[in-house]
Amino acid sequence: MVYCNYPLKKLNTFNLNINANKVVKVKELQQLCKLWQKYKKKYLPCLILGDGSNILFLKNFYGLVIINRIKGIYINESKKYWNLHVNSGENWHKLVEFTIKKKIYGLENLALIPGRVGSAPIQNIGAYGSSIKDFCQYVDIINPINKKIKRINKKKCKFQYRNSIFKHNNYKNYVIISVGLSLSKKWIPNLNYNDLKHLKSNITPQKIFNYICNIRKKKIPHPKIYGNAGSFFKNPIISPKLGFKLLKIFPDIPFSLENNYFKLSAGWLIDKCKFKGYIRKGVMVHSKQALILLNKFNNSSGMNILQLAIKIHNTVGKKFGIWLEPEVKIINSYGIVNPYIFFKKN
């Protein structure tokens, strides 16, 4: 059933009072293609939504929002690996739970990341020293107009930090329909992240899973209480020249080295600009984690959230010479917009 002028408040984790002209929930690929073709012929924009966990709506959406609930998990095994083919409408965290119950290990560091499987490769989701690129073997996409399916192998996905080829304009008319994951039967715990290094004795995948769930629950407010999209900005990766320059000025700046480039904590940069706890027009910088913007009373607007994010971006840029990039997708009445329209180097 297609719903008209449908509220999206429960379908975006910022809890924004936004409506879409048309909304439909789909459970089959043929249904998705049929709807896409119908509304594209009318020159209306189409938007695929999972759980709305990494998006910021600025206005009511003019076209059709398709809620992806195409599910299915299929398992094959080889001598050394578990190979999973997962449809894009599966909930990511429930997939992690499912694999642990099946004694298929490796995804535990990625527990409690919100969203659906289809969005995972777009962002190259990651947390606590792990990311989907570590396990992804391919991504299946479809052109809903001609129904042609393509399989993009891992190398061609061009995974980078919070980035992939699927963010490029060449893929804006494709829909991710499934993801292939490969998990080694020889489990080695990933304890590279600082918060996990103390977990050494009698470690199990379940213990890592439980520990990470507890950390995330403490750090990130539940969206039903305070609307949020988790980390609003990416952690910046900067040149060695700028990195060493900043180290001389700020010796306590936290960083890690990736191919000789400095990866900094965006939360630390924001905190140093004294934004923690700052509130403006109902939007608050989380007092425990400055990377998170909260719709404090769940009655603010997407524009108010964007304005505070721009203020943070400009302040950090002027203080450190680092111009933070948003992690969330920004959506206007017609679809996803280029964030650089709003977040420019001054």
CA–CA separation, 250 vs 322, rounded Å? 14
The catalytically annotated residue of 119, 130, 164, 231 is 231
Q: Is 287 a catalytic residue?
A: no
Residue 199's pLDDT is 80
Residue 24's pLDDT is 97
pLDDT tens series, the chain, 346 aa: 899 999 999 999 999 999 999 999 999 999 999 999 999 999 999 999 999 999 999 999 999 999 999 999 999 999 999 999 999 999 999 999 999 999 999 999 999 999 999 999 999 999 999 999 999 999 999 999 999 999 999 999 999 999 999 998 889 899 999 999 999 999 999 988 878 878 877 899 999 999 999 999 999 999 999 999 999 999 999 999 999 999 999 999 999 888 889 999 999 999 999 999 999 999 999 999 999 999 999 999 999 999 999 999 999 999 999 999 999 999 999 999 999 999 988 7
Residue 169's pLDDT is 84
Q: What is the dihedral of CA 303, 307, 313, 315, to 10 degrees?
A: -170
Q: Is 162 a catalytic residue?
A: yes
Residue 28's pLDDT is 97
The domains located in the chain, with CATH, are: 3-68 (3.30.43.10), 73-219 (3.30.465.10), 237-341 (3.90.78.10)
The catalytically annotated residue of 162, 164, 178, 301 is 162
Q: Is 108 a catalytic residue?
A: no
The catalytically annotated residue of 53, 90, 131, 327 is 327
> pTM surpassing 0.85?
yes
Residue 83's pLDDT is 98
Residue 309's pLDDT is 98
